[in-house]
């Protein structure tokens, strides 16, 4: 029998207070697809579960200021059902929708994916490439944190006691801009990324890349977004020379581990390949 307690606060202030009062053993609950597994395995044997799903804003997608605001606890399947979001941010949505099965998609959220802080989290490279801003709520009020600053290492976040991620803000999309996410797994479905690559880019009228951001997952303790990889393709029309520079810059940013899913050499090599392929897809989408 587990010794946990449960609260479902209905305001962000109450949620922050509950998380703070619960101390280090308190955990926010979004979709629960990681937390309930930890509960069952005994990794969370006691403490307070604070369900964030009743906090206004935690679930749902809305347009605001020309961009999108996504509730951090919104289930993946709901992201895929939002046609406008899919059209504007296909890479973010495809990354979130790669997490787990249909059943898991009914619950799993990008907020949970980010704050679980797995280096292999699928939605995080896409969010980082998209320059997503997290609205972090805590006892001291609200602050805005870029998505890449949340995870500090495997299972570890920069959130202070009582803080949680309430929303993601995706910036307004210029014309001729898009994104893509690809991952490598040994099977076709239901697996953890051996490498993930998110690319977000914008073109001018002539098809020249004027802005880019490349983020890689599962090749370092946290997602990395090497400036050199973005710089490798900015100013180009994604010709072969630019793609080669991109692949090399992506590989140079890798600091992976070897484990049962992939060696250092394999992950490094695949990171270059996936960065190139994701860039090609994002470029085609941006031109379309």
Partner 1 sequence: MTRRRHVTTTVNGDPAEFLCEPGTTLLDAIRDELGLTGSKEGCGSGDCGACSIMLDGRLVCSCLVLAVEAEGRRIETIEGMAEGGELHPLQRKFLEHGALQCGFCTPGLLVAAKALLETNPDPSESETRYWLAGNLCRCTGYDKVIRAVLDAAAELRQARIPA
Cβ-Cβ contacts under 8 Å for 200 (sequence gap 6 or more) = 91, 126, 129, 130, 131, 177, 178, 179, 212, 213, 282
Q: Would you tell me the crossing angle of helices 264-287 and 90-97 to the nearest 10 degrees?
A: 140
Does the footprint of partner 1 cover residue 12 (CB under 8 A)?
A: no
Does the footprint of partner 1 cover residue 111 (CB under 8 A)?
A: no
Among 18, 19, 49, 243, interactor with partner 1 by CB under 8 A: 49
Reading the block at residue 86, the tokens are: 């899919």
CB of 123 to partner 1, least distance (A): 17
Instruction: Name the residue among 275, 31, 267, 26 with its Cα closest to residue 138.
Output: 26
CB of 30 to partner 1, least distance (A): 11
Residue 72-91 contact track with partner 1, rule CB under 8 A, x = bound: ---x-x--------------
When the beta carbons of 40 and 87 are compared against partner 1, the nearer one is 40
Does the footprint of partner 1 cover residue 217 (CB under 8 A)?
A: no
Reading the block at residue 67, the tokens are: 């961009």
Do 164 and 125 meet the contact criterion of CB atoms below 8 Å apart?
no
Please spell the DSSP secondary structure of 133-158, one letter per residue.
Answer: EEEEEETTEEEEEEGGGTEEETTEE-
Does the footprint of partner 1 cover residue 189 (CB under 8 A)?
A: yes
Does the footprint of partner 1 cover residue 21 (CB under 8 A)?
A: no
* Residue ranges in contact with partner 1 by CB under 8 A: 1-6, 8, 29, 31-33, 36-37, 39-41, 49, 51, 53, 75, 77, 100-104, 106-107, 189-190
């Amino acid at each position: 029998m587990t010794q946990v307690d449960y609260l479902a606060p209905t305001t962000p202030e109450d949620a922050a207070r509950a998380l703070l009062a619960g101390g280090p053993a308190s955990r926010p609950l979004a979709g629960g697809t990681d937390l309930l597994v930890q509960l069952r395995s005994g990794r969370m044997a006691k403490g307070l579960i604070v369900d964030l799903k009743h906090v206004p804003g935690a679930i749902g997608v809305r347009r605001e200021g020309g961009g999108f605001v996504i509730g951090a606890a919104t289930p993946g399947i709901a992201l895929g059902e939002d046609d406008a979001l899919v059209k504007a941010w296909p890479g973010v949505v495809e990354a979130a929708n790669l997490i787990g099965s249909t059943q898991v998609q009914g619950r799993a959220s990008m907020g949970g994916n980010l704050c679980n802080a797995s280096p292999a989290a699928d939605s995080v490279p896409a969010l980082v490439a998209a320059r997503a801003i997290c609205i972090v709520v805590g006892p001291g009020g609200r602050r805005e944190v870029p998505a890449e600053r949340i995870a500090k290492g495997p299972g570890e976040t920069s959130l202070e006691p009582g803080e949680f991620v309430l929303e993601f803000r995706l910036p307004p999309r210029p014309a001729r801009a898009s994104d893509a996410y690809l991952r490598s797994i040994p099977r076709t479905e239901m697996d953890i990324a051996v490498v993930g690559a998110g690319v977000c880019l914008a073109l001018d009228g002539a098809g020249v890349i004027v802005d880019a951001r490349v983020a890689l997952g599962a090749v370092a303790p946290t997602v990395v977004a090497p400036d050199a990889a973005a710089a490798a393709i900015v100013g180009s029309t994604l010709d072969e020379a630019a793609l080669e520079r991109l692949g090399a810059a992506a590989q140079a940013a890798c600091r992976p581990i070897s484990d049962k899913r992939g060696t250092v050499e394999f992950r490094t090599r695949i990171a270059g390949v996936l960065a190139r392929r994701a860039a090609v897809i994002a470029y085609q989408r941006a031109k379309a």
